[in-house]
Amino acid sequence: MHTKPDPRQWPMPITFALLACAIASAWWPTKAFPGSKGLLLAPWMILFAAAMVAACFAGVLTATAVVALLVMTGICLKAASLETRQQQAGAWTWAAGGLGLALAVHALPGFHNPLLVNAVRTTPDAVPFTLYANFDKGSVGLLLLACLAPRLASWQDARAAVAPTLVAVLATAAAAIGAAWLAGHVRFEPKLGAALPPFAPTFLFVNLFFTCVAEEAFFRGLIQERLTRALAHRPGLIFLPILLSAALFGLAHLGGGPLYMAFATLAGLGYAGVYAKTRRVEAAVVTHFAVNATHFIFFTYPALGR
């Protein structure tokens, strides 16, 4: 019997495609809106609004969630405007961080993030793996990236970041994944060709846009950057923002157990180190994604079953 398709299903991929496009458009220059007497309208704002409309139609967002995202957007824009005018934006910036953290850990109601992969083993000896597309966490990444995280401003910036990022990718992957391997947490299990899980493209897409961007915009672009600025007059404490950023990143992964938290802290040192070297969030995002992709493709993911 032919079943009529649920009219809420087709907007789902459009919803997250629009959100990913909004994130990617954060690098697009902001232009004055025609006829608006100087009102600035960034492309990411238009795409984010479209993503929220699609998310409402798809059942991902309720009215409560929309209000939370609008409040988060307003706080981030206010903090960004104050920083642009070189005024104190501390309270607004940390309000953005607090609300952003609540959204990222799914503490606020009204979000119905779709389940993409349900308790699947990437290899026979791996623990079951579950994947959600998190609109709340992805939105936090977009807003912090677009409003508060230092980004590449020119091709010269990009060229200068290439070498440190390559070094960070190699060093961080070797340290974090190597430590997990030596501890018996993972083993070398390359998943290439037919062995690559069918959901691999979905995982990599979600991991880049809705995990790596969000986490690096928060831990590096917000926390580490503001600590670095606050301690700029204390050169003896130059490593403190790196250590605190990495420690908080590790603590955020405590749900995976103390050992997993230790590996995450080690990886966080790599992400924080390359951010300190470049002061550009893209370097940390690329390093984070490269390490995660290496783990997923070449090693047990997420970990060996016990």
54 within some domain = yes
Residues 264/249, Cβ–Cβ less than 8 Å: yes
1 within some domain = no
Residues 204/293, Cβ–Cβ less than 8 Å: yes
C-alpha angle 47-49-55 in degrees, rounded to nearest 5: 100
97 within some domain = yes
Report the candidate in 155, 120, 144, 148 with the shortest Cα–Cα distance to residue 23: 144
CA distance 259 to 248: 15
pLDDT at residue number 222: 97
Domain ranges, residue 276: 11-298
Q: Considering its fold, how many domains does the chain have in total?
A: 1
306 within some domain = no
Dihedral of the CA atoms 25, 28, 34, 36 (nearest 10)?
80
pLDDT at residue number 34: 53
Alpha helices in the chain (DSSP H): 11-24, 43-58, 63-84, 90-104, 135-147, 155-172, 178-182, 200-206, 213-216, 225-230, 240-251, 258-278, 281-298
> For every one of its 306 residues, what pLDDT tens digit does the chain have, with 9 covering 90 and above?
334 444 445 578 999 999 999 999 999 876 545 544 445 678 999 999 999 999 999 999 999 999 999 999 999 999 999 987 767 778 999 999 999 999 999 999 999 999 999 999 999 999 999 999 999 999 999 999 999 999 998 999 999 999 999 999 999 999 999 999 999 999 999 998 888 999 999 999 999 999 999 999 999 999 999 999 999 889 889 899 999 999 999 999 999 899 999 999 999 999 999 999 999 999 999 999 999 999 999 999 999 986
The radius of gyration computed from the CA coordinates of the chain, to the nearest angstrom, equals 20
148 within some domain = yes
Residue 61 neighbours by CB under 8 Å, 6+ apart = 52, 55, 69, 110, 111, 112, 135
39 within some domain = yes
CA distance 246 to 151: 20
53 within some domain = yes
Q: Which two tokens stand for residue 206?
A: 């979600």
pLDDT at residue number 9: 54
266 within some domain = yes
